[in-house]
Structure 1
Amino acid sequence: MGLQSSKTLEAERLRLRGTVEQQIQARNLKRPTVQLDASTSYNQRASRFGSEYIWRRTEPGSISLSASQPLLLGGRYQTALREADLRVAQAIARVRTQELAIARQVVEAYASVERDEAIADIRKLGVDVLLAQLEEMRARQAVRLVGLTEISQTEARFAAARAQEAAANARLVASYAALERLIGTRDLQHSDLPFTPIGVPNTLSEAIDLALRLNHDIKIARFNEDIARATAKSIEAEAGPRAFLKAGVTA
C-alpha cells in the first residue's frame, strides 16, 4: 500500500517511462523515414479587354513523397542505443531505490505501531492492577486494617501509572498517524508488508559483498559512470561518416 500511494515513487516511475521513450527513439535511428509534403496556393487576377474585365483564377499545387534509409551512421546508432539502455537501467535503479526506501519506512512504522500497542497494553494492565489494589486497601482501611500512609502511597503509584498509560497512548496515536500517512490506512496485516525479510548475512564481509553487488545507490553511481563514457563515445561518433539511400517523387 505504501508503494502504491507514494507520490515520489509515482514521479520516479513517470521518469522511467520517459526514459524508455528515449530508448525507443534511439532504436529508430536505423529505420527508414518517409516524408509526404503537399502545398497549394490560390491566385485571382483581372485582365481588361476593351470595356470588359475578365477574371482568371489559378490554384497551383504540388505533392512530394520522399524516403530515406540510413546505410552508415558511423557508430552513432550503437552509441546512442548504448546510452539509452544505460539511462533506462539507471531509471529502474532509481525506482528500486525509492521502493526500498518506502518499504523500509513502512516496516519501521509498522514495527513502531506493534511496539507501542504492546506498551499501551502493559500500561493499561498496570493501571488495572493498581486500581484493584487501591480499592482493596480502601476496603481494608474502612475496617482499620491499613493506615492512610499505605493508601497515599498506593494512590501515588496509581496516579503515576495513569500518567504512563496516557503517554503510551499518545505515542501509539503518533505511530498510527505515521503508518496511515505512508499507506493510507492504519490496518496493516503481516501479509501486507512490502517484502518478507530473507535473513541477515553471516559475516561482515558477506554483508559488504552483498551491498556492493545489490545496493541500488551503488548501481546508480556505476550507471552514471557508464553513461558518461557512452556520451563521450556519442560525441566522438558525430565526427564519423554517414550514408543514406534516398528516393523521392514530386507531382
Structure 2
Amino acid sequence: MPSIEAVAPLALDASKFQASETASDFAIFIGPQKSFTQTVLRILEDEIEGTLPLRHNSIGDFLNALGQMNMPVRVVVLDAGVCEAMPDEVRRLAAIDAAEFPGQQAPSLVIAYWSAAEAQAVAAQIKDVPEVQGFLPMNQSIDIWLAVLRLFLSGGTHYPRAVQATVVDTATDAAVEPTPVGEEDCKELLTSREIAVMHEVVNGLQNKQIAAKLKVSEHTVKLHIHHIITKLKVSNRTAAAMKFVETHPPGKA
C-alpha cells in the first residue's frame, strides 16, 4: 500500500471547486501543495462519502473564505510547518466562536506532520491550545491515513507516541498510538462479530448506526466495544480503532 508521501504533488485550487451531488461537509486542509496534494485529497473525497476536501495556503485565506462556504466544515487540518511559522494564527483560529461556522459547531482542529521531531516542536508550541484534537501522521499508508481522518471527522481524538509526552497534561482522553500487534494475535483476540463492529467504528459510524447496519441493539454494540477495549488493552474506542486498523485495514475481512 503506498504511503501518503509517495503521492506526487499537485495543487488543489480552493477557488475553483465544484461540490459533488453527494458532498455535505468540507474537510479543510491548510498548508502548501507539497503537503496536501490534489491526488491525496481526491482519494479522501472518493473514500469518505459526503466529504469535500479543500486546500488553502494559509489560515488567513481560509478565514477570508469562511463566510462564502455553503456547507459545514467538519475538520480543519493544519500543516505543521504553518503552525511552527505562525503559532499565534493557530490560536486565533482555535479561538473563533462556533457562531462563525454556519449551522454547526466549531470543527475538529488537527495538526498534520511528517516527522516525529516536527510533531514534537509544534506540540510544545501549542500545548496551551486545548481545541487541538490530535495529530495526523502523513507518513502512513493511505488506509491508516484515511482511518485516522475518519476518527477526526466523527469527533474522535488521536495523539501518536511522537507527541504524547508533550500533550499528556492537556489531552486527558487522548487516544494512545497502539503497540504493534501481530495479525494472528488480533484475530485470536476478537470474535467475528467484534471484528465486524470494529470495521464500522473505523469507518466513522456511531453506535446507533452500527446497530442498524448489523441489525443488533445499540446496547449490544456498546457491549461489544467494551469487550474490544478490554481485549486490546486500550483506554477508549479511538485507541482501539487505531490498533485494529494496523492489522485490519478497510476492505479486509
TM-score by length of 1: 0.17
Pick the structure with more helix per residue: 1
Using CA pairs below 8 Å that are at least 6 residues apart, which structure has the higher relative contact order? Answer: 1
Larger Rg: 1
TM-score, length of structure 2 as denominator length: 0.17
Specify which structure has the higher proportion of strand: 1
